[in-house]
Amino acid sequence: MRWNSITRRHFLQSASGLTLALPFLDSLCTPAQAQAAGEQKNLVLFFKPNGSYLDDYFPLNPYTAPASLGAKDLGSGFRELPLANITGSLSNILGSDYDAIRSAMNVYWGIGSSSHNHNPSIAFATGPNNPSIDQVAARSPAFNKGRKRVMVWRATQGYDNASSFELTGTGIQSAKLESDAVVAFSLLFGNNMPGNTGTPADNTAYLRKLTSERRALDTVLEDYKRLQSSAVLSGSDKKILQNYMDFVAQKQAEISNLIRTGATPLAPGTIPSKPNPSVNASPLTLVDTLIELLVAGIQTNTCNIFNFQLAATVDETVFDLPINGYTRGGFHSEISHSQNRKNDHTQIDRHLFSKVAKTYKLLNTAMGGAGSQTYADNTLIYVSGDIGTGEVPSNHMSHNMISMSLSGKNIPIRTGRCLAASSDFLKNAYPNNQVLIGMMEAVGVSDWKSVLRSNGFAKPGFGIYEDPAQVASLMRLSDADKEKPMPFLMV
């Protein structure tokens, strides 16, 4: 095969048109390309639906924690508590999965929205008339130099509200939420075929290729073998390449098996409406598959912007929870909007947040080459959602939001703490808008204002500042402050 000398996004390719993007291989790049690869930042957004119990989710309140734990005032009403000083798990939901990665995380206390609802638009877009930060990043020449598309995924069909809002020539529209693991695979690896525009017809053709051939990877093995025997490729890069090929081959086999699973034959490009016991008994859940594809997309530099809704129904979470008495898809109404379901709700939340931790840990592997960077070093994971379940003052509320980040050493966010913006969020919540600005600027979307202005958004700041009704302090920012990230967030 012939390599393009001006890009590091090399491909294994075949006469049949199937291509696979390679991971970063330092020995195939010029020093300038290698430096550019090391500087590429990644933005991963998770929406955790259905609310969480306040006392189960948050670590100790920095305003009431014992002085011996090192909580301190930062000024301007902000306070922080070092997470390393908390013994045991951070909370009932942020369990042992986070013990080893506390130094990379932040939990934000007292962040709120002036919209009283529980839709993902509030978490990322801050309203139905504003683009979400993943889509702003996609339009940012400073961040998205390769003009890569945003991957917008959800882990279930049970939560239909959009989490990503695209910029168009006349305003915004909700982005399609994709919940088919096979299509997700195709979007990352199949759309690199010449002429594939990502249309349903093109995706269907690729999925038929993927599922009908005994081994689609056989079509690229000759190029792969030739590359592995090349004297140009270093030993460490050959190992990276082998691991990558093993991963894609395994995922292809697992996804193909998932398609064919069940008593009723399934059309290519579909997954069972409910995984059967043979699928549940394996580690291949829909959430896990999408997370592994997300990691592979970052490792191959195929995509560096993801917006991912975690599972919202009982059976799609596929974990050890007795589900007797629940109907399929009944999480939202039967647990989240019901009294006396706290234990089940907590188990589900703990499971889903463990998937966020898993994503960071999978990315925390060496990029290879001469340096010692990991993929996590350049990645910001931001998780948001609403607080409140079957209780007063409301079932779900955005006046105090789930707000958490995991980030690597090349992301300028000061980590390892619970950063508190208010001791009483119902009266003095800090606007979520400034957290979102901070997340954009941390990954290098330095031109977010010009992106908005060039698309007709002339108001100051990002998101909405409507009549706050219950939370008067959300209107406290001046126009100049609306253009700034949340204080004490950045290094």
The three-state secondary structure class of 405 is strand
In the chain, the N- to C-terminal Cα span, in Å, equals 45
Residues contacting residue 207 through CB under 8 Å, at least 6 positions apart: 182, 183, 186, 190, 268, 269
Domain boundaries, position 373: 40-180+271-483
pLDDT tens digits, one per residue of 329-364? 566 777 777 777 788 788 888 888 999 999 999 999
Q: CB–CB of 182/251 below 8 Å?
A: no
Q: Is residue 290 part of a domain?
A: yes
- As a whole number of angstroms, the distance between CA 439 and CA 418 comes to 16
Q: Is residue 472 part of a domain?
A: yes
- As a whole number of angstroms, the distance between CA 173 and CA 326 comes to 34
- As a whole number of angstroms, the distance between CA 98 and CA 107 comes to 12
Q: Is residue 252 part of a domain?
A: no
Q: Is residue 82 part of a domain?
A: yes
Phi, psi at residue 4, to the nearest 5°? -85, 120
- As a whole number of angstroms, the distance between CA 241 and CA 257 comes to 24
Q: Which amino acid is at 466?
A: E
Q: Is residue 224 part of a domain?
A: no
- As a whole number of angstroms, the distance between CA 387 and CA 385 comes to 7
Give me the pLDDT at residue 3, please.
35
Q: Which of 1-5, 85-89, 215-219, 359-363 has the lowest mean pLDDT?
A: 1-5
Q: Is residue 22 part of a domain?
A: no
Q: CB–CB of 374/363 below 8 Å?
A: yes
Residues 290-303: what's their mean pLDDT?
84
Q: Which amino acid is at 277?
A: P
Give me the pLDDT at residue 460, please.
85
Confidence of residue 271 (pLDDT cuts 50, 70, 90): very low
- As a whole number of angstroms, the distance between CA 349 and CA 343 comes to 10
- As a whole number of angstroms, the distance between CA 427 and CA 474 comes to 9
Highest mean pLDDT among 19-23, 37-41, 458-462 belongs to 458-462
Q: CB–CB of 227/242 below 8 Å?
A: no
CA 393 vs CA 53, 396, 400, 470: distances in Å: 12, 9, 12, 12
CA proximity to 290, closest of 186, 435, 149, 361: 186
Give me the pLDDT at residue 164, please.
92
CA angle 130/43/336 to nearest 5° reads: 65
Q: Is the pLDDT of residue 409 over 80?
A: yes
CA proximity to 335, closest of 390, 388, 384: 390
- Enter the pTM of the model: 0.85
Spatial strand order of the sheet with 42-47 comes to: 72-75, 78-82, 417-420, 105-109, 397-407, 379-387, 42-47, 305-309, 151-154
Q: Is residue 345 part of a domain?
A: yes
CA proximity to 425, closest of 89, 116, 19, 201: 116
Domain count along the chain: 1
Q: Is residue 343 part of a domain?
A: yes
Hey, how many other C-beta atoms are within 10 angstroms of the C-beta on 33?
A: 16
- As a whole number of angstroms, the distance between CA 300 and CA 368 comes to 12
CATH no. for residue 368? 3.40.720
Strand partners, 126: none
